[in-house]
Amino acid sequence: MCEGGSVPARPGLCGAGVSAPLLTGGERPYVNLDYAASTPALCRVASAVERMLPYYSSVHRGAGFKSQVSTAAYEAARKRLLSFFGAREGDVAVFTRNTTDSMNLLASALPPGSSVLTFCSEHHADLLPWRREGLRAVCLPIPESPEAAISALSAELERGQPVDLVAVTGASNVTGELWPLHELVDVAHRFGVRVLVDAAQIAPHLPINLARLDADYLAASGHKMYAPYGAGILIGRPDWLARREPYLRGGGAVDFVTRDSVQWSELPARQEAGSPNVLGAVAMAVAAAELDRYGMDRVWAEESALGAEVRSGLQAIPGVRVYAIWPGAKERTGVVSFNLEGQEHSLVAAALSAEYGIGVRHGCFCAHPLMLHLLSVPEQGAEEIRTRLAQGDHSAVPGAVRASLGLGTTRPEVEYFLSAVAELAARGPRLDYEVDPRTGDFVPTLQPTWALERARELVSAGETAG
């Protein structure tokens, strides 16, 4: 099982050998530094899905052999994920589409009139689901340190305003700091308040044990944990999810329906209306097993060390500004955001792709309040951005470049990336770029159609193969 003696082999990733064409000529191995957005599938996940396909069939209500196999695989996947995340006895796991869906599901299940507290640094997926009719969303200012986060939460809860849920990320998706989850859970529980951990940015990067952490809910996405087959998960206490009407209404969530009445099912079926994503669930479970096989402690040690190298390497390049919510923080995932003095973030990202074959992300990373804070945009500036956006001008939105690491990242890739950034910082891009008026992004003036052609080929592969 463990290739190479007692140390398990690093899990293989689909697409590891893909080359990227360079606009400067030729091609080179693609360097993926965008794991925080979406991860490639693990090879074992892809082959497990392929092995499952001949058995794919309806779940729960089918009587045939294949339905029995599919149902058992779906339920085994649920169990595997409960165990991977260290859930408590009695916790429920509901399969969703992704973290955003999990958050919205929980928002729909909160007791009416609930108050939800977040920090303004959260991803939009953890800011917006609570801003809805019937709930009160409170957004605490971005704290200056982990200690300040703990005391701000404590001070807010001491004010005596009713709060039902604290929703907090495990790690910043922009700057990588780990949030002091244990302490935040302790504070919240002292006041009888539940905690939801947005685990999108930690599930594939560090060990999580819900029972030890004592958080009440956890949300995660398959496509961020090497299982991009459309499933996500919400794990946690069943009572709220069992009490309210289902988030989605339809078949699978009901025991009996008459012309004017409905008998909703028990959990988890109650919150999984419609035909479930069996392959997505199986993919997530296999990814969890493979991550466990390699060892989450090892994943964390390797990625956080490489992340620190990226951060310090960038900081050493003249003209590079690296962002941090808590500049001195020691514990960070491999997520680093930065800008080059005098160069637009989208220009830097376009040049890294076109001239170096490096894939990064740029913009505001679905965390607008945090980015405005990191970029020191005043309230007035935010107003101007809003006005210009309303006029269709997307170039007004500020942002940064984000490099994010994962299981496939190697030291040579990190070194290559740092040398590419150093070249760009020293002399700018070699090619000409222009702004695409629809998006406000820079694109090479001689925009090649490679990506489009490859996509067409892939989409029509089925037709031609047939």
Ligand X SMILES: Cc1ncc(COP(=O)(O)O)c(C=O)c1O
Active site residues: 366
Degrees, nearest 5: CA angle 457-462-465: 95
Q: What are the two backbone dihedrals, phi and then psi, of residue 219, each rounded to the nearest 5 degrees?
A: -125, 140
Report CA 306 to chain centroid distance, whole Å.
Answer: 19
According to DSSP, residue 45 is labeled H
Q: How far apart are CA 157 and CA 291, in angstroms?
A: 37
Return the number of the residue (181 or 366) whose C-beta is nearest ligand X. 366
Choice between 105 and 150, CB closer to ligand X: 105
Task: Return the range that interacts with ligand X (CB under 6 A); candidates 18-26, 175-183, 221-229, 344-352.
Answer: 221-229
* Other residues' Cβ atoms within 10 Å of the Cβ of residue 175: 27
Size of the site for ligand X (CB under 6 A): 16
For residue 160, how many other CB atoms are within 10 A of its CB? Answer: 8
Task: Kindly tell me which of 122 and 441 has the beta carbon lying closer to ligand X.
Answer: 122
Kindly tell me which of 173 and 271 has the beta carbon lying closer to ligand X: 173
The interface region with ligand X, picked from 20-28, 123-131, 348-356, 435-443 by CB under 6 A, is: 123-131
Smallest gap, in angstroms, from Cβ of residue 116 to ligand X?
15
**Residue 104 binds ligand X (CB under 6 A):** no
277 binds ligand X (CB under 6 A): no
Q: Which of residues 244-263 bind ligand X (CB under 6 A)?
A: none
**Does residue 231 bind ligand X (CB under 6 A)?**
no
Q: Encode 344-374: b = buried (16+ Cβ within 10 Å), e = exposed.
A: bbbbbbbbbbbbbbbbbbbbbbbbbbbbbbb
Contact 241, 271 (CB under 8 A): yes
Select the residue interacting with ligand X from 44, 78, 123, 402 (CB under 6 A): 123
Return the number of the residue (129 or 398) whose C-beta is nearest ligand X: 129
- The crossing angle, in degrees rounded to 10, of helices 278-294 and 65-84 is 40
Are 127 and 100 in contact by the 8 Å Cβ rule? The answer is no
Shortest distance, CB of residue 361 to ligand X, whole angstroms? 9
- Binding mask 322-361 toward ligand X (x if CB under 6 A, else -) reads ----------------------------------------
Give the count of beta carbons closer than 10 Å to the beta carbon of residue 339: 21
Specify the 3-state DSSP secondary structure of 302: helix
CB of 178 to ligand X, least distance (A): 12
Residues numbered 285 to 314 that lie near ligand X (CB under 6 A) are none
Answer yes or no whether residue 121 interacts with ligand X by CB under 6 A. no
For 229, the token pair is 């087959």
Residue that is written with structure tokens 């910043």 in the block: 172
CA dihedral 228, 229, 234, 235 (to 10 degrees): -90
118 binds ligand X (CB under 6 A): no
Question: What residues form DSSP beta bridges with 337?
Answer: 402
**Among 34, 91, 198, 413, contact with ligand X (rule: CB under 6 A):** 198
Residue range at the interface with ligand X (CB under 6 A); choices 108-116, 152-160, 216-224, 282-290: 216-224
The C-alpha atoms of residue 217 and residue 233 are separated, in whole angstroms, by 10
- Cα distance from N-terminal residue to C-terminal residue, the chain: 37
**In the complex, minimum distance from the CB of residue 417 to ligand X, in angstroms, rounded to a whole number:** 20
**C-beta of 117: minimal distance to ligand X in Å?**
16
DSSP state of 343: B
Single out the residue of 32, 39, 100, 121 in contact with ligand X (rule: CB under 6 A): 100
Q: Is 328 exposed, middle or buried (0-12, 13-18, 19+ CB in 10 A)?
A: exposed
Name every residue whose Cβ is closer than 8 Å to that of residue 267 and which is 6 or more positions away in sequence: 92, 94, 238, 241, 242
The smaller minimum CB distance to ligand X, of residues 99 and 114, is found at: 99
Q: Are the C-beta atoms of residues 172 and 202 closer than 8 Å to each other?
A: no
Site map for ligand X, 354-393, x if CB under 6 A?
A: ------------x---------------------------
- The CB-of-461 to ligand X minimum distance in angstroms stands at 26
Q: Which of 70, 108, 114, 201 binds ligand X (CB under 6 A)?
A: 201
Contact region with ligand X (CB under 6 A), list: 53-61, 95-103, 108-116, 293-301: 95-103
d(CA 397, CA 17): 35
- Cα angle 359-361-367, degrees, rounded to a multiple of 5: 160
- Which of the ranges 140-148, 209-217, 220-228, 245-253 carries the binding residues for ligand X, by CB under 6 A? 220-228
Is 98 or 108 the residue whose CB approaches ligand X more closely? 98
Asked whether position 173 contacts ligand X by CB under 6 A, the answer is yes
Determine, following the binding rule CB under 6 A, whether residue 175 of this chain makes contact with ligand X. Answer: no
Q: For binding to ligand X (CB under 6 A), which residues are involved?
A: 37, 98-100, 123, 125-126, 169, 173, 198, 200-201, 221, 223-224, 366
